[in-house]
């Protein structure tokens, strides 16, 4: 071979590396991503510009530039940007909203899917259950517990605030409610 050219290397655009960690107390018990205040939720992977190539005659072939991202566009509710990282301002449930922003809410939302997968839910903020609960469950919240339905069986509820149940509570000799605030429901 007498001469050889080299194609320019392609650029690599900046991207986000999500760092959601299950760090709530008894984290193995919940299927939602939780974090504590100050946790790193995402880090920017820096862009890498392409490298120029050359023709067989040695003339340089320019490389393309990589695109960077603005971290502020990815930081949502209860988060902040520190350098190339998105940090949680509160402990709570981590999620990505419709706009693609990383957010933290201090309310854990539990539906039938989560109840089918786990029996223990522990969360530093408030817990909202969207359905009836029947069976052996432990629901521990640092703040309020709100249940949109009926609670039946050996359900143990502990709340650092209020407990509100839209239906009733059938303890069946095993259920228990402990609240630092008020307790309200239609019947017990």
| CA–CA gap between residue 81 and residue 16 (Å, rounded) | 13
Confidence of residue 59 (pLDDT cuts 50, 70, 90): very high
The pLDDT confidence band at residue 33, using thresholds 50, 70 and 90, is low
Q: Which of 126, 151, 153 is nearest to 140 (CA)?
A: 126
Reading the block at residue 180, the tokens are: 């630092």
Q: Which residues share a beta bridge with 87?
A: 40, 80
> Residues 6 or more apart from 82 whose CB is under 8 A from it?
none
| Contact call for residues 105 and 95 (beta carbons, < 8 A) | yes
Dump pLDDT digits (tens) for 85-107: 999 998 888 888 889 899 998 88
- pLDDT tens digits along 149-175: 999 999 999 999 999 999 999 998 899
**Where does the pLDDT of residue 75 fall: very low under 50, low under 70, confident under 90, or very high at 90 and above?**
very high
Residue 127 · residue 148 · CB < 8 Å? no
Q: What's the pLDDT score for residue 24?
A: 46
The distance from CA 65 to its chain's CA centroid, rounded to whole angstroms, is: 33
The mean pLDDT of the chain is: 89
Identify which of 7, 113, 105, 119 has the alpha carbon closest to the alpha carbon of residue 54.
7
Q: Over 25-56, what HEC string results? A: CCHHHCCCCEECCCCEEEEEECCECCCCEECC
In 3D space, the residue among 22, 16, 35 whose CA is nearest the CA of residue 100 turns out to be 16
The tens digit of pLDDT for each residue in 13-22 reads 999 999 875 4
pLDDT digits (tens, 9 = 90+) for 137-155: 999 999 999 999 999 999 9
């Amino acid at each position: 071979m007498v001469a050889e050219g080299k194609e320019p290397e392609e650029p690599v655009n900046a991207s986000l590396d999500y760092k959601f960690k299950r760090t709530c107390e008894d984290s193995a018990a919940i299927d939602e991503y939780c974090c504590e205040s100050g946790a790193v939720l995402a880090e920017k992977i820096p862009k890498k510009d392409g490298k120029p190539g050359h023709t067989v005659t040695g003339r340089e072939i320019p490389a393309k530039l990589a695109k960077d991202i603005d971290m502020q566009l990815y930081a949502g509710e209860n988060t902040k940007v520190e350098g190339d990282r998105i940090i949680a301002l509160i402990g709570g449930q981590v999620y990505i909203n419709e706009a693609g922003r990383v957010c933290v809410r201090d309310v854990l939302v539990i539906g039938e899917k989560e109840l089918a997968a786990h029996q223990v839910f522990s969360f530093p903020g408030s817990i909202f259950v969207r359905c009836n609960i029947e069976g052996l469950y432990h629901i521990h919240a640092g703040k309020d517990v709100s249940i949109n339905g009926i609670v039946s069986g050996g359900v143990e509820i502990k709340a650092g605030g209020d407990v509100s149940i839209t239906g009733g509570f059938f303890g069946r000799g095993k259920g228990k409610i402990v609240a630092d605030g008020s307790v309200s429901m239609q019947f017990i």
